[in-house]
Amino acid sequence: MEDPLYTFMLPDPSTRQEVLRIFFRHYLEMLSPYSDIYASSAQWEAVALVFRSEQFGSSILSQLNYRRRIATAIIKSLPACRYIGCKGFIRGVSILHSMSSAWLHMLGDRPYAHLDMLVVQQAYRGSGQVSKMMEPLLAECDAKDWACTLETQNPNNVPLYGRYGFTLVETIRLPDSDLEQYCMVYNRNN
């Protein structure tokens, strides 16, 4: 089953692939100073991007720097307009903005790790790759007394993450869509 968000925005598979390539390249560049990328092995059966609040900083300069990186990523992603048009691009940016992690304010000043992305190659799904990625991350959060957060647009993922101790804390409906974003927190020590 395809992710409904991508299908919703990009119905043609070849167009979808090219737009996602453009988007994810710049998205990863934008988040790289604040995140770590993990792989389950040298074969990259599973890959996770983990944003760490401690790497972000709380100064005004840090906030401005982050906003500059977002603007740069959006500008660098403009070639996607060739495939989805300017209207589609603006709609995509609007959806991303509505899916922002603004809900994380509920953690206050508590440090956290945000599982921004977790991808398992199709051939390895169901083989324990999610556990290989989640268990060390959650053990680190326990050891540091951090929360761990994530967002998913797939309702089938909510019980999957629930098995690891995540709790659904907020649901955000995406604009002009039936899609929802499920915001979850792992908080073992609290």
Q: Percent of the chain having pLDDT more than 70?
A: 77
Q: Using one digit for the tens of pLDDT, what is the confidence trace for 74-126?
A: 788 888 777 777 887 777 777 666 666 667 778 888 888 989 888 888 899 99
Please determine, for residue 6, whether its predicted confidence score (pLDDT) is greater than 60.
no
Report the C-alpha gap between 19 and 105 in whole angstroms.
Answer: 31
Range of lowest pLDDT (9-18, 19-28, 133-142, 157-166): 9-18
Task: Name the strands in the sheet holding 166-173, side by side, starting at the edge strand that comes first in the sequence.
Answer: 35-39, 46-52, 112-120, 147-152, 180-186, 166-173
In this prediction, residue 5 carries a pLDDT of 43
Extended strands (E) in 86-175? 112-120, 147-152, 166-173
Range of lowest pLDDT (39-43, 67-71, 140-144): 67-71
Interacting residues of 132 by C-beta distance below 8 A, sequence separation 6+: 40, 46
Report the C-alpha gap between 17 and 165 in whole angstroms.
Answer: 33
- Enter the pTM of the model: 0.75
